[in-house]
């Protein structure tokens, strides 16, 4: 692990104000709109209230946006020749991947910390286990979407790849029961989308599996979604990376 390279990358990301707006400020704004202005924000749900439920959802959205963007940028760097430049240095591929993973987690932590701080200020309530458990799951689970960013970056091989990856996350968020509460057939479809299992797992320490409509969902449902989509993203990203190397 090269600390100097990691710090330089973090400073570069900090200078990208537009990127930080979409990964941190925008999800925080969504939390204020959806989590603090609704009349039901103090309604009990699980071991907390609706404000906490929305807080976890928006933190998950922000973390996924951050890791997807970081993964997409890493893929574009490799496609555009940065990998060959790094090949002239003692830096190993494993170290490069490790540093990108650290960077992705640091960047993902920004919206999570900001939104959880806003949640504490705005009246989000829950047990200590719900706060800590959901926060850790949000951070750890978002790493899967770094693979999604790599997948899109290597598949499109263009400057628009990061935008496509980030834009598709918004669609996944609507389909995954993050921005609006789904029910009936739409909820049944949502369970097969990439973000549903991740955000449901993050909410589990709060809700213990109970959905807003009063029904109960066993833990294996979100776990299966997270593991399944993680495998899909990992295999496709590996295939596209290999195909890109074969063409060079």
pLDDT digits (tens, 9 = 90+) for 194-247: 999 999 999 999 999 998 878 899 999 999 999 999 999 888 887 876 765 555
Residue 248 reports pLDDT greater than 70: no
Per residue in 142-183, pLDDT (tens digit) is 989 988 888 887 777 666 777 788 889 999 999 999 998 888
Distance, in Å, from the CA atom of 54 to the CA atom of 9, rounded to the nearest integer, reads: 31
pLDDT in tens, 20-38: 777 888 899 999 988 888 7
Contact 68, 165 (CB under 8 A): yes
The pLDDT value recorded for residue 78 is: 63
% pLDDT > 90, the chain = 44
Share of the chain above pLDDT 70, in %: 83
DSSP the chain: --HHHHHHHHHHHHH-HHHHIIIIIHHHHHHHHHHHSSGGGGSEETTEEHHHHHHHHHHHHHHHHHHHHHHHHHHHHHHTTHHHHHHTSS--HHHHHHHHHHHHHHHHHHHHHHHHHHHHHHT----HHHHHHHHHHHHHHHTHHHHHHHHHHHHH-STTHHHHHHHHHHHHHHHTTSSS---HHHHHHHTTSHHHHHHHHHHHHHHTTB-TTS-B--THHHHHHHHHHHHHHHHHHHHHHHHHHHH-
For 170, the token pair is 């918004």
Please state the domain count of the chain.
Answer: 1
CA 93, chain centre distance (Å):
24
Please tell me the distance from the alpha carbon of residue 95 to that of residue 83, in angstroms, as a whole number.
Answer: 12
Q: Which two tokens stand for residue 155?
A: 């598949």
pLDDT of 93 > 60? The answer is no
Q: Rounded to whole angstroms, how far apart are CA atoms 31 and 50?
A: 11
- pLDDT of 82 reads 60
pLDDT of 240 reads 76
pLDDT (mean) for 47-67: 93
Q: Full-prediction pTM beyond 0.85?
A: yes
Q: State residue 59's pLDDT score.
A: 96
- Beta strands 48-49; 44-45: pairing state: antiparallel
131: pLDDT strictly greater than 90:
yes
Domain coverage including residue 240: 3-247
Task: Give the Cα separation of 169 and 117 in Å (integer).
Answer: 24
């Amino acid at each position: 692990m090269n600390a100097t390279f990691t710090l330089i990358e973090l400073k570069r990301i900090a200078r990208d104000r537009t990127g930080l707006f979409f990964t941190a400020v925008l999800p925080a704004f969504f939390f204020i709109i959806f989590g603090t202005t609704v009349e039901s924000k103090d309604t009990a749900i699980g071991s907390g209230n609706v404000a906490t439920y929305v807080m976890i959802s928006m933190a998950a959205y922000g973390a996924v946006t951050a890791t997807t963007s970081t993964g997409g940028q890493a893929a574009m760097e490799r496609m555009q020749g940065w990998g060959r430049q790094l090949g002239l240095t003692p830096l190993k591929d494993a170290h490069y991947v490790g540093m990108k993973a650290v960077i992705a987690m640091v960047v993902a932590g920004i919206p999570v910390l900001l939104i959880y701080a806003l949640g504490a200020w705005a009246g989000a309530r829950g047990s200590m286990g719900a706060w800590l458990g959901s926060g850790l799951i949000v951070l750890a689970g978002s790493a899967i979407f770094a693979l999604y960013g790599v997948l899109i970056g290597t598949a499109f091989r263009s400057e628009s790849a990061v935008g496509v990856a980030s834009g598709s996350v918004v669609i996944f968020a609507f389909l995954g029961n993050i921005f609006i509460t789904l029910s009936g057939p739409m909820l049944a479809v949502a369970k097969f989308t990439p973000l549903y299992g991740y955000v449901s797992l993050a909410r589990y320490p709060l809700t213990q599996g109970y959905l807003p409509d009063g029904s109960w969902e066993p833990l294996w449902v979100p776990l299966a979604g997270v593991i399944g989509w993680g495998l899909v993203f990992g295999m496709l990203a590996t295939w596209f990376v290999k195909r890109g190397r074969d063409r060079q």
